[in-house]
Amino acid sequence: LVLLSLSVTAVLGDDMKDVKEGEDVILECRFGSHLISRGPTFYWARSNARDKDNVAIEGTPLEQNYEVDYSPNTGKYDLRIRNSTYDRDNGKFECRIKEKGSGQTLHSKTVQLTVLLPPGPPKITPLEPTATEGRSLDLTCSSSGGSPDPLIRWYRNGMPYPLDSIIKFGGSKNSPTSAILSVTPQRDDDGTEYRCVVWNRAMGEGEKLESSISLNVNYYPRVKVGPENPLRVEKGSEAKLTCNVDSKPAVSSVKWTRNGRFSETSFTYNIPSVSIQEQGSYACTADNGLGQSGEADLTLEVLYAPIVSVVPRKEVEDGESVWIKCNVSSNPRPSSIEWIMKDDPSFRQSGDILRIERVTAQNSGIYICKAVNIINPSGQDTTYERTGNASVALMIKHAPGKSHIEPSAPSVVEGSGVTLTCGAKPPGWPIPQYRWWKEGSESTISVGAQLNIATAKAASEGLYFCQPTNEIGTGTVASAELRVYQAPKITQTLQPQVIRRAGDSGFQVTCTAKAKPRPTISWMKDGQLLDPSHKDARSFYKIEAHDVEIKNGAYTVNSTLFFSGDARDHKDRIMASDRGYYACIVENEVKKDESHMYLRVQHRPIFIQQRNWELDRAAFEIGETAYIPCKVQAFPKPEIEWSFNQVMLSGGVGIRPYDKNTSILANDIYVSTLVIQGIQGDDYGEYSCKATNSMGNASSIIILQEKGRPSPPAELRIVESDVNSVLLKWEPGFNGGYEETKHLIQYSGDDGSIREADCLFYNPCNITGLKQQTFYTFRVRAWNPKGESEFSKNLTAMTRIDLSKIPDPLDVKFEPKSRTLVFNVLTQMPMATAKVELQQNGENTWRKYRMLPVFTDKIHHVIEDPKLVEAVRVRLCFEDEETCGNTINADIVSTVPAVAQVGMRVHYVIGAVVSGIVLLLCFALVLLFCCCRKKRVVKKEQYDANRTTTQDAPPPYYTNGMENKGLEKSMDVIEDTLKNFNGQNGYISYNGLHHQPNGNGNHQYNADQNSYSNSNNAGSVDSQDSLWKAPQLVPNDQQHLMTQHHQQQLQQQQQLNHSNLMHQHLHNRNSGNYEHHHVQSTYSTEDYVPYESRNNYVSDPYGPIPKPKRRLDLIGDSPYHELSGLPDPYMDSTSGAGLVGTPGHQDESSIPSRSQQQQQSQQAPPPSATMTFEESLESGYSTPNSRNRRVIREIIV
């Protein structure tokens, strides 16, 4: 700062002038023109680090690149410097005008000219500074080569203002200018960045040079202990004391001390099982060699349950007062201390002192002091209740009271021991003496509180007495009757092995046993109970039992197992399946005894097939070794022979080697394996396995074939059904010769989409990801490297309902005065019922009242129960009474909301009005249309009679109907349906109005058909919409309509049958036999099973009754007088089987009688008529349109 001041003083009053090196500059010197009159002398002088000399005199420059603008008359004497340089021009220039002769200075001017040079980059020393916490350190930043001397400033990272530093100017470009920053670092300064910034006038305003360094600070240890301070640990638990040290350089170890004594050097001090004595303060010390160590103290607080101590026994006289102190030690302090009495839950006394005034014998007993505290160990959010207790026996001198014997109803097994214990209440103090005797004798049999009978006998049974006595008095007499039981003992056992011949009759086995109390005898076969109440067991066996009481309650029980039943040949013949292990099991309350018999049945060989629905097969490729097994069950042992093409195979035939191996399995099963090495093409075929024993012979055919596709699985069945999964099991078919044959299950749900699940080798297989309470159709097929099998028969299964998603009834209210119950549901749910339960006056349990149907979303019901109802609760159920949602208790109210009583009849009114209008319109249209068509039909009769009617198979029908559409919109749906018909093979199909099951009654779907959805609720997979949003038709209405529809159809069919029989006879006689009318329909009976749905709008029960005067020549030769190729839906399903691909003509002998037709029509369900759009617009007569003529029935609208 002093140097800076001197420099400023030196140039004070001088003009300052800057010029960049290499540029030109003009130094002005102006004076008054009057000085010319004094004849002055002019010159410029320069003073710099190199020299001091004149550079111009008058108008003559004395230095190269200097020019003088010499104009005395105008008062101008300027010096122009061209191509300025630092070494030559940087310095002080002085313009002087002196008077000649005297040398007097007339005028002078000084200009300090600075030739600008940018400074060099800053240099910081030291480059990698390392400091110690609390000790001063100088950081020097210097720069040289600049003119003028640069401005140097220090900055700390993150601080906008400069730091104080000491500046040392260089004075020239060759001398560096430096700034010295002195810092005294702390721990937080470690890693801090310091920045040095350099600037002078040769640089622009935005330009600067800078350099930075990072300060490395070694600091003293900072110690932190934990994990919490104080640290709370329960007694017996592990205590972990942690010592975390922050220091530089880091420490490798610490020192734990307690009360000045060294304990541990690791950062974690573990105490495996902390005790109360280890509670206290622990110090952790760390030193990293900088001369100052760090230390922190941790307080260990040991939490423990109350430790309770009292005197073990206190004896007092009757009538005295008792005072007993309870001593408790715990951490934390106990939250409660109380006294309780053993065997007397009503006695409780708070506080640590037990006080009882004027005690009596009833106060005798064990008193327990119980203390409770609440602990909260460190690091845990929960608290724990800990309990400690101690007991004191309070002895009050008194006579024994009422006596008793334990057990009160003693029993013992003969040969075992038993102990009877005599006691009294109050027990008496001092301890009384006890006397025992038996009924019938007053002599003492034992003294002491217990009577021990080491080995009980039958004579030990009887009534025993005891009585206590002490110095104060005598107690009452107690008694107990000892019963001596006998374990079951089988006196007549079964023979270990019995051999019988198949066909023997009258076989029976008997088992006799003795026991007390009376035993039961049961029979088992091969571990399975033969239950006489079960139909399967009763069909093959009969069991008779008799029992006789001997004495002292002992019984002899006899049970006989008869091999007789309705399922046996001649009801009592022995069968091969009777082979097995039989057991007679005798059991009572004491023990169980068993006797066993192995029954072997001599019978002719019985072959055990791999699959009972097809011949056994084996498959191998040419060149392989074939193994053909033949399994047979027989006794005695059979001789097994093999033959091929009626040639016996024994060791070898010609050059073909054959080997036979026979193994014996359990239950008289023998397996003979025919081994053919290097099979050839002519080895394929049927092999005969013949088994012969003394009882007869039998043979079985086994086919040897090339490896190929597997055969279809069979017996697909449900093992278990869940909310979103179904577990399926099946019987595999022949695997085609590949053990690695796998199975694939194809299934579809209500949306019609087809999905597949690869079960690999798993059987059973679990199909997951299904929707709840939804019907699914499953079928399985096998596949191996050769291809796939056909599918198995379809199986329909339904998933269970998800109880958690059953909605709750809403706004449940009950008004007791009128006994009115009201509640709401989300929507109408005809498939649901509301389970109502009542709680009546004086009852604490709920009783089922009734299951109410849920036809509307507002339920209003009056409770019909004579008893006073205090509370009501409701829950919604599906499927059964146990598949229910949450129970909602009804709110008791004084009034209930008004409910429109006609609300339940709205559907009936609407249905009646709409049905009446439709009936009238349809009847008028049909009459008008029939009249118009009658004349045109006559003209086309001859032409149609000579035509051959051929019709293609109808398209499949998909079940994407409007299942959730309300009945109120049914008329709109009829119009919309006409827009959705798809023409296929000349037919028009109804999309979604029919459901097509297969011939087995199961749902059928094809993988090459598109999937259609029948859900109009846009529900997700887990949606409950399909459950809660049901059709709007009230079931009673629907049932009424269906009943009326069925009755009308029965009447129509009876009239038609009678009329058709007469007219058919006349028609055949007059018109001849129309054998040229071939009906080539592919319909089968299973395509038209009835499907009762209100979506079948073409089956209106209110259509006109067909007239008896129908045109018989257009009805066709079929005796059913129905749609071509279709069976009569009122006839038996088998009667239509012959219609598939056969001519429509049948002779009169095949026509059923009227009584048969009536009987069949009464038994058959109402049909679900299916017809095309064009047919739906025509009457029962022929339809003259562009398509082939088709005979149809009249529409019933």
Q: How far apart (Å, rounded) are the C-alpha atoms in residues 359 and 494?
A: 69
Query: What Cα–Cα distance (Å) separates residue 602 from each residue in 494, 504, 667, 795?
Result: 20, 10, 12, 41
Q: How far apart (Å, rounded) are the C-alpha atoms in residues 1013 and 964?
A: 12
Q: In the prediction, which pLDDT does 656 show?
A: 67
Q: In the prediction, which pLDDT does 1035 show?
A: 38
The answer to whether residues 640 and 670 touch, using CB atoms and an 8 Å cutoff, is: yes
CA dihedral 700→702→703→709, nearest 10 degrees, is: 120
Residue from 592, 642, 628, 566 nearest 487 by CA = 592
| Helix (H) or strand (E) segment spanning residue 1051 | helix 1035-1071
Q: How far apart (Å, rounded) are the C-alpha atoms in residues 957 and 1014?
A: 13
Structure tokens at 747: 């299934």
The answer to whether residues 1012 and 960 touch, using CB atoms and an 8 Å cutoff, is: yes
State in Å, rounded, how far the first CA of the chain is from the last one.
Answer: 119
| Helix (H) or strand (E) segment spanning residue 976 | helix 970-978
The answer to whether residues 375 and 387 touch, using CB atoms and an 8 Å cutoff, is: no
Peptide bond into 605 cis (omega under 30): no
Q: How far apart (Å, rounded) are the C-alpha atoms in residues 925 and 14?
A: 128
DSSP code at position 2: H
The answer to whether residues 165 and 139 touch, using CB atoms and an 8 Å cutoff, is: no
Query: What Cα–Cα distance (Å) separates residue 99 from each residue in 27, 36, 39, 44, 735?
Result: 22, 10, 6, 15, 138
The answer to whether residues 510 and 560 touch, using CB atoms and an 8 Å cutoff, is: yes
Q: How far apart (Å, rounded) are the C-alpha atoms in residues 473 and 469?
A: 6
The answer to whether residues 921 and 1104 touch, using CB atoms and an 8 Å cutoff, is: no
SS3 1188: coil
To which residue do tokens 């009834």 refer?
809
Cβ neighbours of residue 16 under 8 Å, at least 6 residues apart?
A: 111, 112, 114
Return left, alpha or beta for 619; rule: phi > 0 is left, psi -120 to 50 is alpha, else beta. beta
Helices 1035-1071/1154-1163 angle, 10° precision: 150
Residue from 951, 941, 990, 948 nearest 1139 by CA = 951
Cβ neighbours of residue 884 under 8 Å, at least 6 residues apart?
A: 803, 806, 835, 875, 876, 877, 878
Q: What does the pLDDT look like over 1156-1191, one tens digit per residue?
A: 444 444 444 443 333 333 333 333 333 333 334 444
The answer to whether residues 845 and 837 touch, using CB atoms and an 8 Å cutoff, is: no
Stretches where the chain sits below pLDDT 70 are 1-13, 651-656, 842, 897-914, 931-1197
Q: What does the pLDDT look like over 97-135, one tens digit per residue?
A: 998 888 888 899 999 999 999 999 999 999 999 999 999
Q: In the prediction, which pLDDT does 645 show?
A: 86
Domains and CATH numbers, the chain: 14-116 (2.60.40.10), 130-214 (2.60.40.10), 220-303 (2.60.40.10), 310-396 (2.60.40.10), 403-484 (2.60.40.10), 493-602 (2.60.40.10), 608-705 (2.60.40.10), 714-798 (2.60.40.10), 806-899 (2.60.40), 912-955+1034-1176 (no CATH)
The answer to whether residues 228 and 240 touch, using CB atoms and an 8 Å cutoff, is: no
Structure tokens at 812: 């449940």
Query: What Cα–Cα distance (Å) separates residue 501 from each residue in 601, 602, 603, 605, 1115?
Result: 5, 4, 6, 13, 67
Q: In the prediction, which pLDDT does 172 show?
A: 87
Q: How far apart (Å, rounded) are the C-alpha atoms in residues 289 and 143?
A: 38
Structure tokens at 260: 């000045």
To which residue do tokens 């379809």 refer?
794
What number of residues does the chain have?
Answer: 1197
Q: In the prediction, which pLDDT does 1135 show?
A: 36
What is the β-pairing status of strands 15-20 and 123-125? Answer: unpaired
Q: How far apart (Å, rounded) are the C-alpha atoms in residues 1068 and 1145?
A: 10
